[in-house]
Structure 1
């Protein structure tokens, strides 16, 4: 292989190998710290790819560079020459880079589970870096001594990252929330006293006082806050709830005290406030799983951050004044770049730290001159409405996919790489901003459900509703109940998705005797958004939905729809496609014709659309009912989704499904809490 490349090219690579690697490592760290946090409020595929490639490449390049440095100079038999000493000085910087930025420690949850592998890597790379420094040690070179503070800072950074990964792993994250060991009242001593009193001739009875859980109002005790800080009330409430509800992400149960407190808050707050609090709360969860928040926002973390920052700054200024004779000018320039980059990244990390929600929350609780001065210096640079998630829902539509209303741009390369189908699906994926009307509808529906429950058992039963509750309330269960009661959940999604499209494009729910839809209501558009969002989850995020054959059912429905439209070339838009579908009679049930061979529900959905049309209601009421059915389906899906899938989506802009899941938990509509009789206090009565 050596003879493949020209000798001049090999010499150039040999000269620039280490230099290129350390500079590339610094560039990758800069990318990670600059865009690491943006992924929690961005759905852009390009940003996700850039972050993914940078995250994987950063560790690889730093590791390879340390390996190359460990053997540098062996060819000449001397590793203490000036050109080797200055390159050995770069080794601790690679340790700093392996420690990673504060904004991203794990790309996905799986990285947290591999903390032990990072621990082995930490030990190996620290030993390798120490070996590089020892080989280049002369005892009279100032650069050797300056490498020690950077080496210490590198160990701190690398150790921080490993500790954070360990804390965020499922085992230790769950363990960190276990309460202290509590044996409870001494039952054996109680019974000994009971028998002792009986033997003494007393008539003994026990009396138990139970603190029973109630649905009454609960007032949260708050610390007086600094009113000059942005969103201070929402930050405080979100942090209080975060400390309790983070147990949901560890598959632990909530206590009835947690439910009473949060339920009262949600019932007595506005939609905007509640969704804002949930956004902040999920931001705290994101920080725990994907950043160094566990370490950075602790007293020990602050001390370690001060040490590493001090080491970097001291070495930077010391390098300005040491003797540099004997070193190549190019290597000196690269060393300056590494030092300046390390200092700049540390300063930027401090700025991000001071502007974070946790820091703002902490400053709001302080009543001193230092906190006030920090507030006045930071507040002008803080956005009035910081982005904490994408505030978007993805849209995917079956009819558009079948009629191919987007020209294809994919060709042979995508087919050769076996990603044609995935890329084709992504072409039909759009994003819709989550409107205030949509949030208000979800909020009011869930709050209404919560108020209808008079005990915790009823709250748990609400989790199993996936549309029937709405149909029963609207007294149309006989006409429409078959689409939900006798169907699997993924089947119901497809049925109602197609039926919603048929009604939306054909105007089936708009009878000629009705007036125009109320401009203030937006049930028709909300129904369309939720319909396309639920199909997106079924097709692109199937693991967020209950187990089933949703993808098989979708591909069969897709195939039947494509075959239907292929014979009708004149169908070029969604409106015509829906009108054409509705011309097919469904008097004979499709199951009698097709049997169980195909799982397609295309014409069953046409039957559902006709049933919706047969309702003798005003069109506004019809669309209101349809939107309520979709909200209930969304709520059911949120309850059934695994907590790990909710946590995974926080790194891709977030999902509305996760916000609904947490909102339902705050209202007590969750299966993850204990129905308890309360704390009991027993005493003996002797007569």
Structure 2
């Protein structure tokens, strides 16, 4: 009675593994978009598990195929090895779950070489002649997609981005003439209620100045040509400017965690066309091939893999062609006929609207360029004044050597950024000169100096290092607000109602706790 699971596994192990690998790819495709916004913990946990299990399942299945002998009634299983390579390539919308994954791109490259050799060995040893051509087509497609993912991980590494930017000349923003006349500084934009056309214009302007965001993210020098700078950005209200920043962060997310950096090139588009054509051709050749003597379950699984590969590659191609990144590619291409055919007649815009409409039907994969609107909070004084007596989870974590991790997770929290905080930050940035905003070195050099312009005796509180200054100002802010609350209570007891700018006080606390959270 207890041995039936073992018997089932011994007989159908590779079938179970292949179907599980395909299922994990579907889960990744459907859920990867939730990382761009606040999502339920269950969905985030499911996405994390799918990401962690996807590679290990496909690699284990390939190893199982390489080491086991294929029975006569299961000859089709060798045809599945190219699909496992395709699964290792992963969906376009998620390559890394954390920045550390990008740093391990060399390990992925070594894994790529080993798994490609393993899949080639399986095809050479076990593939029947009647499915040899479909197997070769899917093998080439799998190698291309897996190699592309490894290259995307390499490009998503901050060090690689920094090195690549050093070799490039200062980027200039693209101008989209057909949208140039739309003014985003008036009407709905000032109230934050963008229409669909205005949303598209703002997204394209985010693309046009993305080089500034990318260089700032990797601490590279930001050179802005005054003649090519988009002066209209200075006219935006705070709601529109925050919407633009959200889009910039979403574009940065694409570079770091998806295949965007390698998709929108000639090679990226050609890989998608070839992969889709290979899936269609393999499906048709298998459909018309003789299947006598093959196991019916294996035939059904093969059809599932072929149909799944077709839909996954179709979604990949449509997503790539309908992405806003494609517009930048079209404007930068040297093929003027392609630019004219796609842009001047509005064909690409109509195609993009269609793709976006289809994408919105998948509620789990909503890739609208928004973010959760939250920021982390960590208060130093509350952490230091926590209770230490009695048994608790903190004591258990200390025994297990996880005290530092527990303190970071347990005493941190997230809050929604209030409208008042957004408005105050926008006003502060607007009052700075363009050099202070766009040049990283000047921003770091001048931090805190403006706040202490009228208090020269407190300049030494800035600290030698930025981290030291953040710690001093955080503690000082808490002490000042505590004293302020005491004075307010005394005045209220003596004089009754006391006017207070509650929103500003909460904004000060939120920003101070956020700086400590980052530190």
Q: Same fold (TM over 0.5)?
A: yes
Q: 2:517 aligns with which of 508, 530, 536?
A: 536
Distance 1:247 1:122 in 2: 30
Q: 2:30 aligns with which of 31, 34, 44?
A: 34
Q: 2:161 aligns with which of 173, 176, 188?
A: 173
Asked if the contact 1:102/1:293 (under 8 Å) is kept, the reply is yes
- Report the secondary structure of 1:430's partner residue: strand
Question: Aligned pair 1:390/2:372, yes or no?
Answer: yes
* Residue of structure 2 equivalent to 1:225: 179
Distance 2:460 2:219 in 1: 34
CA pair 484-160 structure 1, distance change in 2 beyond 3 A: closer
Q: How do 1:106-185 and structure 2 match up within 5 A?
A: 106-139=96-129, 142-170=130-158, 172-179=160-167
Q: Which runs of 5+ in 1 are unaligned?
A: 74-78, 183-217, 543-687
Question: Aligned pair 1:366/2:343, yes or no?
Answer: yes
Distance 1:460 1:94 in 2: 47
Asked if the contact 2:207/2:248 (under 8 Å) is kept, the reply is yes
Q: Structure 1 length normalisation: TM-score?
A: 0.61
* Residue of structure 2 equivalent to 1:331: 298
* Residue of structure 2 equivalent to 1:493: 473
- Report the secondary structure of 2:313's partner residue: helix
The structure with more helix, counted as a fraction of residues: 2
* Residue of structure 2 equivalent to 1:272: 239
Q: 1:444 aligns with which of 427, 451, 454?
A: 427
- Displacement of 1:238: 1.5
Q: 1:464 aligns with which of 432, 441, 445?
A: 445
- Displacement of 1:353: 3.5
* Residue of structure 2 equivalent to 1:16: 12
Distance 2:511 2:204 in 1: 31
* Residue of structure 2 equivalent to 1:586: none
Question: Aligned pair 1:252/2:220, yes or no?
Answer: yes
- Displacement of 1:96: 0.4
Question: Aligned pair 1:81/2:72, yes or no?
Answer: yes
CA pair 362-119 structure 1, distance change in 2 beyond 3 A: closer
Q: Deviations over 1:324-359 (max 9, x none)?
A: 332222222322332232223223334543554324
Distance 2:483 2:302 in 1: 67
* Residue of structure 2 equivalent to 1:649: none
- Report the secondary structure of 1:443's partner residue: helix
- Displacement of 1:361: 6.8
Q: Deviations over 1:71-98 (max 9, x none)?
A: 222xxxxx47231x21101111111011
- Displacement of 1:138: 3.9
Q: Structure 2 length normalisation: TM-score?
A: 0.78
Q: How do 1:540-559 and structure 2 match up within 5 A?
A: 542=519
Distance 2:284 2:84 in 1: 20
CA pair 427-23 structure 1, distance change in 2 beyond 3 A: same
* Residue of structure 2 equivalent to 1:613: none
CA pair 116-481 structure 1, distance change in 2 beyond 3 A: closer
The higher-RCO structure (CA 8 Å, 6+ apart) is: 1
Question: Aligned pair 1:313/2:280, yes or no?
Answer: yes
* Residue of structure 2 equivalent to 1:304: 271
Range 505-514 or range 151-160, more displaced: 505-514
- Report the secondary structure of 2:9's partner residue: helix
- Report the secondary structure of 1:326's partner residue: coil
Question: Aligned pair 1:102/2:100, yes or no?
Answer: no
Q: How do 1:658-669 and structure 2 match up within 5 A?
A: none
Distance 1:454 1:277 in 2: 19
Distance 1:45 1:356 in 2: 28
Q: 1:70 aligns with which of 61, 66, 71?
A: 66
Distance 2:317 2:345 in 1: 21
- Displacement of 1:428: 3.8
Asked if the contact 1:468/1:477 (under 8 Å) is kept, the reply is no
Question: Aligned pair 1:526/2:516, yes or no?
Answer: no
> How many positions carry a matched residue from both structures?
483
Distance 1:319 1:455 in 2: 60
* Residue of structure 2 equivalent to 1:281: 248
Distance 1:44 1:503 in 2: 39
* Residue of structure 2 equivalent to 1:667: none
- Report the secondary structure of 1:89's partner residue: helix
CA pair 511-358 structure 1, distance change in 2 beyond 3 A: farther
Distance 1:438 1:333 in 2: 57
Distance 1:39 1:101 in 2: 14
- Displacement of 1:307: 0.8
Asked if the contact 1:41/1:387 (under 8 Å) is kept, the reply is no
Distance 1:330 1:412 in 2: 53
Distance 2:438 2:277 in 1: 54
- CA RMSD, aligned part only? 4.1
Distance 2:380 2:462 in 1: 20
Asked if the contact 1:39/1:47 (under 8 Å) is kept, the reply is no
CA pair 130-461 structure 1, distance change in 2 beyond 3 A: closer
Asked if the contact 1:115/1:165 (under 8 Å) is kept, the reply is yes
CA pair 421-527 structure 1, distance change in 2 beyond 3 A: same
* Residue of structure 2 equivalent to 1:292: 259
Distance 2:158 2:356 in 1: 36
Q: How do 1:526-605 and structure 2 match up within 5 A?
A: 526-537=507-518, 542=519
Q: 2:418 aligns with which of 420, 435, 439?
A: 435
Asked if the contact 1:449/1:462 (under 8 Å) is kept, the reply is no
